[in-house]
C-alpha cells in the first residue's frame, strides 16, 4: 500500500512538472488563445491578398505587355509565400470544418404556453 501511494505521488509530481514544461513551450499551440485566432485571421487575409495579387498581375499582363514587368519572376516569388501560408491554414480550415457544435442554452428554446 505504501509503495502504491509513493508511486502515485511520484507520478503526480512528474505529471505536474511535465504540464508546466509543456505550457511554457512555444511550439505547443492553444487554439483557444485570442492571439492565435487573430494570427490565423491575418494569415487568411494575407492568403486572399496574394491570390488577388496574382490575378491582378495576370490581368495587367493580359491587357498590355508592359516593359520591365517580368510576370513569371514575380509569380514565382509569390508562390513560396502562398505555399507556406497554406501549410499553416489548411489544417485550421479542416479543424473548423469538422468542428462539432456543442449545444448550450442559446440554441434551444422552450415552448411558451399558449403558442
The 10s digit of each residue's pLDDT in 66-103 is 888 888 898 899 899 999 999 989 988 888 777 766 66
Report the pLDDT averaged over residues 30-51.
Answer: 88
Q: Please, which pLDDT band fits residue 42 given cuts at 50, 70 and 90?
A: very high
* Inside any domain, residue 11: no
Tell me the torsion sign for CA atoms 50, 51, 56, 59. positive
Range of the domain at 86: 29-97
What radius of gyration, in Å, describes the C-alpha atoms of the chain? Answer: 26
Cα 59 to Cα 49: distance, rounded to the nearest angstrom = 15
Say if 104 falls within a structural domain.
Answer: no
Could you tell me if residue 15 is inside a domain? Answer: no
Q: Is residue 13 situated within a structural domain? A: no
Q: What is the pTM of this model?
A: 0.59
Cα angle 70-66-50, degrees, rounded to a multiple of 5:
50
Assign 103 to helix, strand or coil.
coil
Distance CA(82)–CA(55), nearest Å, equals 14
Domain count, the chain: 1
**43 within some domain:** yes
The three cell numbers of residue 103 are: 449545444
Q: What is the pLDDT confidence band of residue 7, given thresholds at 50, 70 and 90?
A: low
What mean pLDDT is predicted for residues 4-20?
A: 54
Q: What are phi and psi of 100, to 5 degrees?
A: -90, 150
Amino acid at each position: 500500500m505504501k509503495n502504491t501511494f509513493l508511486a502515485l505521488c511520484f507520478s503526480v509530481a512528474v505529471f505536474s512538472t511535465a504540464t508546466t514544461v509543456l505550457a511554457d513551450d512555444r511550439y505547443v499551440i492553444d487554439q483557444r488563445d485570442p492571439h492565435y485566432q487573430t494570427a490565423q485571421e491575418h494569415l487568411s487575409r494575407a492568403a486572399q491578398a496574394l491570390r488577388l495579387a496574382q490575378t491582378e498581375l495576370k490581368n495587367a499582363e493580359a491587357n498590355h505587355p508592359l516593359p520591365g514587368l517580368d510576370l513569371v519572376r514575380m509569380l514565382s516569388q509569390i508562390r513560396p509565400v502562398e505555399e507556406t501560408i497554406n501549410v499553416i491554414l489548411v489544417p485550421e480550415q479542416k479543424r473548423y470544418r469538422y468542428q462539432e457544435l456543442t449545444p448550450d442554452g442559446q440554441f434551444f428554446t422552450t415552448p411558451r404556453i399558449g403558442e
